[in-house]
Amino acid sequence: MKLNIQRFAEMTAQSDVGIVLYVKKETKYEELLEIKSVPASGQAGGTLETTTLKSPTKTYIPDRPDTGDMDYTYNYTEANHTKAKAVCDGAEHEFLVKFQDGTGFTYQGQAQTWINEVSVGSVVEATLHTVPSVSPEIKTKSEVDSLLQAE
């Protein structure tokens, strides 16, 4: 019996190979940067304590969802930094992260960029810091394909 390794990998997990960060320019998404890390597509909201003096245990209710911030690491070069700075203009931009299997997530937000600390024997990296104004929305492969084909 021959085992189809690729099929097995598709059933259990996906690799980081091929992940792409896009930004919407006018009417279509374009690749922004080759990135080295992708942030989580969300985070747990906070909690509000509702404990009263009568209660023998602390009690809580959920707080508002938190859009948080999303940081991407990229290799610092003048060309990459110029691409990153193009979206650091104080305006909101639409971002799309596409995973290897074609699924992904989108969100709108503002961006900042900077060069990270550097030490001996390391690659110079930079960060693209984005602050979503809305919670990221998970997209199916067909939804991502539609976004990338839209004009």
pLDDT 10s digits, 64-78: 887 888 999 999 999
Number of domains in the chain: 1
Q: Give the pLDDT of residue 150.
A: 76
Helix (H) / strand (E) element for 144: namely helix 141-149
pLDDT in tens, 117-141: 999 999 999 999 999 998 899 999 9
Q: Give the pLDDT of residue 73.
A: 97
CB atoms within 10 A of CB 12: 7
Q: Is residue 5 part of a domain?
A: no
Domain containing 62 — which CATH number? 2.40.30.200
Q: Give the number of residues written for the chain.
A: 151
Residues 42, 144: Cα–Cα separation, whole Å: 18
| Structural domain of 104 | 15-149
Q: Give the pLDDT of residue 111.
A: 97
Q: Give the pLDDT of residue 135.
A: 87
Q: Is residue 9 part of a domain?
A: no
Q: Which residues of the chain have pLDDT under 50?
A: none
Contact 36, 54 (CB under 8 A): no
Q: Is residue 1 part of a domain?
A: no
Contact 96, 147 (CB under 8 A): yes
